[in-house]
Amino acid sequence: MKFGMIAMAAAGLLAGCCCDCGVKVEPWGTTKRGEKASLYTIEGKDGLTLVVSDYGGRVVKCFAPGRDGKKADVTLGWNSIGEYETLGFSMGTLIGRYGNRIANGKFTLEGREWQLPINETTPAPRHCNLHSGPDGWDTHVWAASPFCSGDERGLVLTYVSKDGESGFPGNLSVKVVYTVKPGNVWRIDYEATTDKTTVVNPTHHSYWNLAGEASGSVLKQNLKVYADEYTPTDAGLIPLKNAPVKGTGFDFTELRAIDAKAAWMAAEKSLAAMDNWYDHNFVLRGKPGEMKPAVEMRDPASGRALEIWTTEPCLQIYGAQNMSAKLPAKEAGKTLCQFAGLALETQHAPDSPNRPDFPSTVLKPGETFRSATEYRFGVK
């Protein structure tokens, strides 16, 4: 009798019914690994709605209200698993076990060198591991469990990254919790433990366009970054020494249009490897581990605003300069474009395993990695 009840409940979920906590669940197809994926619709009490997949923890849609009360989907993405598998850009996904770049895909722990896949080689001289390579967390279907607590609703995602996966040491047990809270706040809590010394640097890779996806470029939207330093890179996009943002195109210490310093960026020859645009680490004010403001983004037309707060020490900004109208949008008949969104990735600095001067990403047995980031949506 119990088995029959469980089977009926499972059939209900696959048919698109809501679970007991009000999170809608529906099937989404099968990955190239043969894993079945689902979509979870998490609707907050004040209007914020997330559509999340257990396939890579992707945020497929994020609806936020504007000044007129109307909602728009403010994150980029696609409608099918196949598009995510073939079109790239780490669209809307969890990144792990290590976000961003590791030079030559190598690092040394406790006297042993570890070699990761090299998955970024063009244009030369790029030669690094980016976002953990072709077999990162974004390629797997996670165990998912919806929940509710008072006015909060969310999804618990769990995954065991096995020893040697993507070249990293240690069996890493990971839990990521997405919570939609009152006041149109989406919170991510990361937690991980390991049975062998390893490195951990997870992040989330949504692209934001507060005017709505497929609405055009974000260049005239406004940005403020709570950082007095950024990290210049070499031609291979590997970090050099931190430098002041003052007097550069990286100065977002006051709210300004994203393209307000486009002429300076275009003229700076050292940025040629980044198409003279943003793909850089910003060093946030405050202490690692404390919740603090990282960045604010606003769309003057709709009034939508997004504040990101985090316990992480850094923020990577990528300006989607490599996107084009060849990419489909979720909205039927529309495409994306260059600068179609802005990736705002809270994390530790790139190449930290090779940089003792940067905050450490090492995790040892008996320790627990914890990190939190909040996306606070509003109207300004």
| Amino acid letter for position 282 | F
Q: How far apart are CA 253 and CA 76, in angstroms?
A: 26
Kind and range of the H or E element at 7? helix 2-14
Choosing from 296, 345, 348, 374, which is the catalytic residue? Answer: 345
Burial class (CB in 10 A: 0-12, 13-18, 19+), 162: exposed
Kind and range of the H or E element at 81? helix 81-87
User: Degrees (nearest 5) of the Cα angle 312, 316, 317?
Assistant: 140
For residue 109, count other CB atoms closer than 10 A to its CB.
Answer: 17
Q: How far apart are CA 247 and CA 190, in angstroms?
A: 35
Q: How far apart are CA 63 and CA 11, in angstroms?
A: 28
Question: CA dist 110 to 2, 169, 172, 362, Å?
Answer: 50, 11, 18, 11
Choosing from 205, 213, 307, 374, which is the catalytic residue? Answer: 205
Verify whether residue 345 is a known catalytic residue.
yes
- Active-site residues, by number, are 205, 345
